[in-house]
Amino acid sequence: MRPPTTVGIIYPGHAAEDEYAAAAGPLGVRLPVAHVYGTDLHAVPELLDLGAPQRLAGGAAALAAHRPQSVMWACTSGSFVFGHDGARQQVTELARVTGVPTSSTSIAFVAALAALGVTRVAVAASYPDDVAACFVEYLASAGVEVVATGSAGILSAAEVGLLRPAEVRDLATAHDHPDAAALLVPDTAMRTLSVLPELEAQLGKPVLTANQVTIWQGLRLAGATPSRPDLGTLFTRRQDHAPQ
C-alpha cells in the first residue's frame, strides 16, 4: 500500500495551524507542521525578519524526518513583503534546503488564480493598510488586478487566530466587489476552511483563503490533486500538475 502524500508545512508561530490537521484526514494526506518563531506583528520589518532564509531553513530541517514530497512556507505576509522577485528567490533558496518542490502561500495564491483563469479579484485582508498594500502590489506584479481592498487593521497573527467563524464571514463578505471574479482572504493565521462553502454560496464566486491555497499548492507540487468540494471551488476543478 502506498504511503499517503506528505506535504511539509513551515508555519509561523501559533494561530490557525490546526486547519492543516483538520484537512489532512478528509484529504487522505499528511500535512505535518514545523513551527518557526519571530514576532507575530503585521509590520513590514518584522515580516521581512520572519521570512529570513536561516529561519525557514530551520523549519525545513524540522520537517526532514517526515520525508515530505513537497514543502510549503505557510505565511502570506512573510512572503509577499519581499515583492514578486523576492518571494520567488525566497522559495528557490528554501528548495535548496528541502531538496523537494517548495513554494509559499503568496505564490500559491497566484498559482490558484491562474488555475481558475481569474485575473480580477477583491481582497479581504486582516492586516493594517500598509501591509495589505504590499499584497496588492505583489498581485499586480503577477498580472492580477485588485478591484477592491479591505483591511481590518489587526496588528498581530495571534489576534487574527481568535476571530470567530461569524467574524471571518463578515470580514470576507464586507470586502467583496461585484467586479471581482474571486475573493482573496490572505492570512494563514485566520481559520477559514469551515466557512468556505457558505462564503462561496453567498458570494457566488470562488473564495481563496491562505490555508486553503497553501494545502492545494503543496499537494499539486507533490503530484496529488484530490477533490474536496468542502474546501471550495479550487478543490473541485481538476488541474494539471505543474511546477511552483
The rounded distance, in Å, linking the Cα atoms of 189 and 75 is 8
Q: Under 8 Å CB-to-CB from 86, ≥6 apart: which residues?
A: none
Structural domain containing residue 164: 111-208
Task: Tell whether 64 and 117 lie within a shared domain.
Answer: no
Looking at the structure, tell me whether residues 116 and 87 fall in a common domain. Answer: no
Q: Quickly tell me which residue has 519571530 as its cell.
A: 38
Residue 242 lies in a domain: no
Q: Quick one: average pLDDT of 115-136? A: 95
Q: Is residue 237 part of a domain?
A: no
How many of the other CB atoms lie within 10 Å of CB of 80?
Answer: 29
C-alpha cell belonging to residue 74: 505557510
CA distance 69 to 186: 25
In a domain, 240, yes or no: no
> Which of 19-28, 106-115, 188-197, 221-230 comes out lowest in average pLDDT?
221-230
Distance in angstroms (rounded) separating the CA atoms of residues 50 and 41: 10
Nearest to 16 by CA among 183, 215, 171: 215
pLDDT of residue 38: 85
Same domain for 63 and 81? yes
pLDDT band for 179, please (50, 70, 90 cuts): very high
pTM of the model: 0.94
Retrieve residue 116's grid coordinates: 481558475
Regarding whether 147 and 77 lie in a shared domain, the answer is no
For residues 95 and 133, membership in a common domain is answered with: no
Query: Count of domains in the chain?
Result: 2
The span from the CA of 192 to the CA of 185, in Å, is 8
Which neighbouring-strand residues pair with 70? 7
Q: Give the pLDDT of residue 225.
A: 82
pLDDT at 238 over 60: no
Amino acid letter, residue 29? V
* CATH for 78: 3.40.50.12500
